[in-house]
């Protein structure tokens, strides 16, 4: 979920040293059983297009033993495409759900009092006045969005007001500091003081089933950076799985081992925001089955001016490819099928759809698709790039023309165990049945 802009106004954290990891449960839940998979993808695609077209630090211990923290995360919504993590804020802790997003940095939740410009959320609003550990983050703190404006000697009581704009919406409030609690049971709970977050009292109504967002990007304000995690991993359960739980880990316990693990280096992000927060990858080509498509490797090159490139984003649903690459993928899929074409623009919002003989028909066999990254191939089974529902079978990808930045979305990441090693600057991955992890 790429962030686009931040308006800042000056107005008058991490795990304890014995911590080793933050553990987050991931689940996939349909809140509305009447919504079809294609309707779900249509609405998620609409949100993705808007994203692209608009666009005190404490440390985890280096030891492998110690604290494991769990925050259940679920795949939710009738009309979105995000994975939600559950955590708690304040003293006493109040549980809330937030979008887990590798494409942004700010951690935020709605705060009371919250008037007409707040969205409806599940559960109770967090109220700072009811927490014994709430504080306003000084505007010259290293994790304050206003630090550069405040200077070394800000005025007394200086606080940072923000308006964070994403491609899909916006939120505004005051930067604050709180104790966060991770874990679903007393045995695995851990309280982490000093987390900088956004206390929002005005937001657009675009946050489907959540109470806010947890940024997992490369910037100083993300949860990864504030925890000094060094690495994090997650495994996203399939969209068709309505109730399974999988796991997000931050810290040494996130390490991914095994003979099937492949690794590719991150491409250095541009220094300019918001591109500086993204995890860029070097995609050198794409194959369908054994056929490598005639896509020049330079197609996905990140330009010196910050244009182009490919990012991996847990907050975007459908993979978008720069048009020259998308047209090759589209043509390859089209050449493999003899099914009649179907107009999926209304039902799914996707460009290439086929008509199955019956609504209950099993789609024909299709080869896997391979994304060739520098030093590592990511193999996508057919269920990771095609979606079937109500007699229509569609390519779950789209073309990207505005800004020409390609994005590997979470639909294509399902049932792949991914490790972001922010110290070694690598992404590692292996196929997995995420519901069993």
State how far the Cα of 358 lies from the Cα of 361, in Å rounded to an integer.
Answer: 5
Quick check: 22 and 182 in contact, CB under 8 A?
A: yes
Residue 351 annotated to the active site: no
Closest CA to 206 of 295, 146, 117: 117
CA distance 90 to 135: 10
Q: By C-alpha distance, which of 424, 74, 78 is closest to 247?
A: 74
Rounded Cα distance between 141 and 338, Å, is 61
Out of 76, 105, 241, 313, pick the active-site residue. Answer: 313
Q: Residue ranges of the alpha helices (H) in 318-367? A: 323-336
Alpha carbons 249 and 21: distance in angstroms, whole number: 6
Of 395, 332, 408, give the one whose Cα is nearest residue 363.
395
The one catalytic residue among 48, 101, 105, 389: 101
Angle CA 216–76–212, to nearest 5: 45
User: How far, in Å, CA of 433 to CA of 295, rounded?
Assistant: 31
Query: Cβ distance 133 to 151 under 8 Å?
Result: no
| Calpha distance 314→161 (Å, rounded) | 27
Catalytic site residue 76? Answer: no
**Residue 314's closest CA among 43, 98, 78?**
98
By annotation, the residues acting in catalysis are: 101, 313
């Amino acid at each position: 979920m790429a962030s686009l802009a931040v308006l800042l106004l000056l107005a008058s954290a991490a795990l304890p040293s014995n911590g080793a990891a933050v553990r987050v449960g991931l689940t996939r839940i349909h809140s509305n059983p009447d919504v079809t998979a294609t309707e779900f993808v249509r609405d998620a695609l609409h949100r993705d297009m808007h994203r692209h077209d608009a666009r005190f630090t404490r440390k985890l211990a280096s030891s492998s033993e110690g604290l494991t923290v769990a925050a259940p995360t679920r795949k939710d919504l009738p009309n979105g495409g995000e994975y939600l993590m559950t955590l708690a804020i304040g003293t006493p802790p109040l549980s809330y759900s937030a979008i887990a997003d590798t494409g942004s940095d700010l951690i935020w939740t709605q705060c009371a009092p919250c008037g007409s410009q707040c969205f409806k959320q599940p559960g109770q609003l967090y109220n700072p006045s009811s927490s014994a550990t709430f504080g306003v983050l000084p505007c010259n703190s290293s994790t304050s969005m206003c630090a550069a404006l405040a200077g070394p000697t800000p005025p007394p009581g200086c606080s940072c007001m923000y308006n964070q704009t994403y491609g899909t919406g916006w939120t505004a409030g005051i930067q604050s500091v709180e104790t966060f609690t991770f874990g679903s049971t007393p045995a695995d709970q851990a309280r982490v003081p000093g987390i900088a977050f956004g206390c929002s009292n005005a937001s657009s109504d675009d946050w489907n089933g959540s109470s806010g967002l947890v940024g997992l990007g490369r910037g100083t304000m993300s949860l990864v950076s504030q925890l000094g995690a060094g690495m994090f991993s997650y495994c996203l359960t399939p969209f068709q799985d309505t109730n399974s739980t999988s796991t997000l880990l931050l810290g040494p316990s996130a390490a991914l081992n095994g003979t099937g693990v492949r690794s590719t280096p991150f491409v250095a992000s541009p220094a300019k925001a918001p591109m500086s927060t993204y995890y860029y990858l070097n995609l050198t080509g794409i194959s369908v089955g054994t056929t490598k498509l005639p896509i020049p490797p330079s197609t996905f090159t990140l330009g010196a001016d910050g244009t182009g490139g490919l990012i991996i984003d847990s907050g975007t649903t459908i993979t978008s490819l720069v048009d020259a690459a998308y047209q090759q993928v589209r043509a390859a899929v089209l050449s493999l099928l003899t099914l009649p074409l179907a107009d999926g623009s209304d039902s799914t919002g996707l460009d290439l759809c086929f008509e199955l003989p019956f609504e209950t028909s099993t789609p024909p066999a299709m080869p896997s698709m391979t994304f060739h990254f520098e030093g590592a191939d990511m193999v996508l089974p057919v269920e990771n790039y095609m979606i079937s529902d109500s007699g229509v079978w569609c390519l779950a990808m789209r073309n990207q023309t505005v800004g020409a930045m390609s994005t590997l979305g979470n639909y294509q990441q399902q049932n792949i165990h991914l490790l972001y090693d922010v110290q070694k600057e690598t992404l590692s991955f292996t196929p997995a049945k995420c519901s069993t992890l």
